[in-house]
Amino acid sequence: MKKMDRISITGYKPSGFVKKYQELIHDIMIPYQYRVLSNQEPNVSKSNVIENFKNAAKALRGEKHDSFYGMVFQDSDAGKFIEAAAYSLATFQDKELEKIIDEFIDIIAEAQDEDGYLNTRFTVQEKEKRWENLLEAHELYCAGHMMEGACAYYEATGKRKFLDVMERNAEHIYNKFIVNKAEGYPGHPEIELALMKMYRLTGNEHCLDLAKHFIDCRGVDPHFYEKERKARSWVVWGSNPSNYEYQQNNKPVRELSEATGHSVRAAYLYTGMADLASETDDKELFDACRRLWDNIVEKRMYVTGGIGSTHHGEAFTKDYDLPSDTAYAETCASIALMFFASRMLENEIKGEYADVMELAFYNTVLAGIQIDGKRYFYVNPLESIPGISGQVTSHSHVKITRPGWYDCACCPPNAARLIASLGQYAYSEKDDTAFCHMYASGDVEFKNGLKIECKTEYPYENTVNYKINGNGNMAIRIPNWSEKYTVNKNGAEINPENKDGYIYIPVCDGDEIGIELDMTPRYIYASEKIPYLTGKVAIAVGPTVYCFEGVDNDGDVFSLSVDTSKLPVVEEYDNDLLGGTRKMTVKGFKKEAQKGLYTSKAPTYTEKDLTAIPYHLWANRGENQMRVWMTEK
């Protein structure tokens, strides 16, 4: 059975909300991140990524060079940066940016060893330690991100140099692990999904075989990392090789049923598994993916689409352990969740996958970026407490304003590449059917010949309109939060069948399809199994979760409670508020201040209008309190 295909990298030209963010990526984030990678941006953590590649080339030539600088996975920032730039070039013609990337690729190519190996950490220093520490050294992880960047740049420009470099690198890895039968699998999964991209782009069967090998052998010998540790005398961080669940190697992947361990690694692995299941029609592998998906979205995911609830190992913990004030919810983890959702859609067309993809995007992913494009969240809490967040040991990971960069800078370029490539998540196709998974305004060209123009002010408006060029079928997702909706075709209301969250409509050249969704503000109540949220309520409009900040509520949100007997009112769109958004007025109460730490006197409450803003825009106006889950009264 033919799987669903993503549209081409050049198949989507954005407008509206998406264009605003893609312009932010192109105009601000990519130039800013290049300055960081080349050590030209003052007052941020040193990156040294480009210098590491230059020094690796010098080392290969036997020339004097500086030491490697940065995290062991520093090369991955290069791959993600080039990938983001490639997607941006596919949307915005920019000869200067293309020249910068071409020159960067020349530098990278010079750093590749003659046997195809490419990793600056071990080329610059300790060449003899290559492939000795799969658990910690991230060689396969870095290779995966570089492969993704190479694929994207070839698709955007038609230039093969970087792709040829990474094909040589893939052959080196193939020879190491398949021809020469070296044991092991990635400590940080990622290369699996990257190899699938390489295979689909190049047709190189070795990439498919290698992806399958790393997935199939994982966890078959859960003691591999312990044996590897005994065989070497050095460590990177001193990771515990016996922490099987943390490393997702406690059992073969087809037997997994709970999402465990480092949340980004887990979701990258599950993405690769779902990708392989789709390509090879592996039902057993997909069944495992489905169990893992259910465990995440039914028991281990925040209302904002965040995953990974503890800073200890950036990891999943137990079912229903979803604290708000100490949430980790790494930006990269929600990006990885979107990857997983998109690959699940390729296996079976169900709206629930796109629902989660949309939830993660409009909330946690976008929250990772300041509206100026120059500051970023790694961690995305659902509650911010000045004086405690970032200061108390238990909350040390929680920032209340976004830093400019990180020593571990995985999230900024990851967010850039995801947003720049959003069209490939919003739209796909199968045979003569064009699928609309997310409402992304702009022009879309499908490989099957259909073209559509989507006009919408989503997520701030409830109407979506499509103008059709060509003949075929459209499948449009209806979100699970929209209890009511109307569909019209050429001005006449129709009632197409809703199958697993999608409506299917035959279309002809010149047709116009209109969707009207129910964006009535709604209260969200948590399962009684989440102990932290007893008596709490959250508020959402469409895909957007709202939060309350002190700056809008006299500096204090923790004394406030929400009157759920009255519906909130979403105000008119304000171009001047946080770059353009809609705030919300909510009826509620303010608890009057009491004397003393504790008292026997019953509290008094004053009726008050409360103000909320979209969660993804919090922390753009300095340090102040923030809360998503409010006390219900």
How many Cα atoms occupy the beta-carbon half-sphere of 293 within 13 Å?
26
CA separation for the pair 377, 220 (Å, rounded): 36
Between CA 73 and CA 583, with CA 414 as vertex, the angle to 5 degrees is 145
d(CA 406, CA 411): 9
Q: Is 236 exposed, middle or buried (0-12, 13-18, 19+ CB in 10 A)?
A: middle
* 133 token code pair: 């520490």
Strand pairing class (433-436; 472-477): parallel
The string over 500-514, giving b where at least 16 C-beta atoms fall within 10 Å of a residue's C-beta and e elsewhere, is ebbbebebeeebebb
Chain position carrying tokens 């229903």: 320
The pair of structure tokens assigned to 529 is 């199994």
Q: Spell out the residues 6+ positions from residue 248 whose beta carbon is closer than 8 angstroms to its own.
A: 189, 218, 219, 256, 260, 261, 265, 266, 269
Tell me the DSSP string of 110-169.
HTS-TTS---HHHHHS-GGGTTS-TTTS-HHHHHHHHHHHHHHHHHHH---HHHHHHHHH
CB atoms within 10 A of CB 203: 9
- Positions annotated as catalytic residues are 314, 410
**CA gap 299, 322 in Å, rounded:** 9
- Return d(Cα 433, Cα 506) in angstroms, integer: 9
- Residue of 130, 112, 114 whose CA lies nearest to 72: 130
Alpha helices in 158-255 (DSSP H): 161-174, 191-202, 205-217, 224-231
* Cβ proximity of 276 and 211 under 8 Å: yes
- Helix extents (H) in 158-203: 161-174, 191-202
CA dihedral 173, 175, 177, 181 (to 10 degrees): -170
CA–CA separation, 442 and 450 (whole Å): 14
